Amino acid sequence: MEDKKQPLWTRDFIMIAVINLFLFWGFQMLLPTLPLFAKSLGGSDTMLGWIVGSATVASLLIRPVSGALLDKMGRKGIFAAGLLIIIAVTLSFGWLPSVGALIAVRFVHGIGWGIASTASSTIASDNIPKSRFGEGMGYFSLSSSLAMALAPGMALAMFAGSGFKPLSFVSAGLAAVVLLLSFFLRNTEKAELQEERVKASVYERTSILPAAIMFLVCATYGSITGFLSLYAINAGITNIGIFFTVYAATLLVTRPLSGRLTDRFGFSVAIYPGLLLVAVAMILLSRAATLPAFLLCAAIYGLGLGSVQSSLQAMAIIRAPKERRGAANATFFTGFDGGIGFGSVIGGMIASAAGYSRMYLYFSFFAVIAGFCYYIFFTRKKGA
């Protein structure tokens, strides 16, 4: 009963939510614009997929290491190290002479991103009461989802108006603001974490299932961020940035509601409907030919992804021991980043062979497969 009385909106929780918003905003500005920049350098659709894919490979490699370091050495120093890498690499993007160089530097960018985003989520989980974890993670993940929704539209507008270099400066500047704000965070390690130094471990076992489901769902998001702008141009639509604005509006409603439902009724009440909506959105997107049709897809997709992501993240962290929260976050975001990168790479291959429309149709199956996996490995197992 005492835990239920603990406040959610503490100073540190609010600060890490704001920090996470700026962190994701700077990163998400690059996702839809780097392919356009690479296209101007002569890159093919397959190579465009690897722009995202190279960062994903790097984050997949570094997340387990960063998770273990967060559990053993604390949060703030590891967080700062990742941010410094992001700032340095982002400032260099506009001067790269070829797609090959862009892919190589993007790999280093993925290392910094893997470290910083894992640290941010771990700091947040330190500051959420267990009885309100679904709600708290829903609000916290809203910060990243808002960035994922609004930053691409802002970035596409900047790219069209002033090119890629000024955009990269803004992205690096946001990371610098995050670094500055991080110095004002209190020591977020729990006392038991400082007293009990745990052994380094690659992944947290209890977080593997939600990470695997998130991998499949984020594959759809990778196909959207990687190729939506090009798909829309082929359909004669130039102001596709509003897609992400509509997507953001639906997230504002979905995040807090799905978190509260999860705390009260369990994970399935948000995850099953969310997966269904993601599948429907991808099917409709494969047929979209007008701006209203694209915006309808954005609303449905936002409702679906918003329900699924916060619930799966809460599942990944709340079932892990306190001293393994760093590893739990690393495991979850391995699935998150892995899905986005996989979707971008496979999406580029499918688009080259079959076109963007069929690519989005095929990607609807990822949400269906995710639903079957969740049923087999969680719902049915729990019922047994």
CA dist 64 and 300 (Å) reads 33
Measured between its terminal Cα atoms, the distance across the chain in Å is 29
Query: Does residue 318 lie within any of the structural domains?
Result: yes
Tens digits of pLDDT across the chain (384 residues) = 444 467 888 899 999 999 999 999 999 898 878 888 888 887 776 777 777 678 878 888 898 888 888 888 888 899 999 999 999 999 998 888 888 888 899 999 999 999 999 899 889 988 888 778 878 887 887 788 778 777 887 898 899 888 889 999 999 999 999 999 999 987 555 434 444 444 545 678 889 999 999 999 999 998 998 889 889 988 898 888 788 888 878 887 887 788 778 888 888 999 999 999 999 999 999 999 999 999 999 999 999 998 898 889 889 888 888 778 888 888 898 888 788 878 988 998 899 899 999 999 999 999 999 999 999 988 887 653
Backbone phi, psi, residue 355, to 5°: 95, 165
CA dist 241 and 243 (Å) reads 5
Query: Does residue 317 lie within any of the structural domains?
Result: yes
For the whole prediction, is pTM greater than 0.85?
no
Q: What is the pLDDT of residue 3?
A: 46
Q: What is the pLDDT of residue 2?
A: 43
Query: Does residue 2 lie within any of the structural domains?
Result: no
How many structural domains is the chain composed of? 1
The residues, ordered by sequence, that sit 6+ positions from 365 with a Cβ below 8 Å of its Cβ are 279
Residue type for position 304: G
Query: Does residue 197 lie within any of the structural domains?
Result: no
Q: What is the pLDDT of residue 190?
A: 45
Query: Does residue 294 lie within any of the structural domains?
Result: yes
CA dist 333 and 340 (Å) reads 10
Query: Does residue 268 lie within any of the structural domains?
Result: yes
Q: What is the pLDDT of residue 201?
A: 59
Q: Which of 226, 219, 232, 208 is nearest to 338 (CA)?
A: 219
Q: CB atoms < 10 A from the CB of 373, how many?
A: 16
The boundaries of the domain holding residue 49 are: 7-184+205-383
Collapsing DSSP to helix, strand or coil, 361 comes out as: helix
The per-residue b/e assignment along 152-164, b for 16 or more CB within 10 angstroms, e otherwise, is bbbbbebbeeeeb
Backbone phi, psi, residue 86, to 5°: -60, -45
Six-digit token string for 130: 């267990």
The residues, ordered by sequence, that sit 6+ positions from 382 with a Cβ below 8 Å of its Cβ are none
Query: Does residue 192 lie within any of the structural domains?
Result: no
Six-digit token string for 26: 């700077």
Query: Does residue 15 lie within any of the structural domains?
Result: yes
> For residue 306, what is the domain's CATH number?
1.20.1250.20
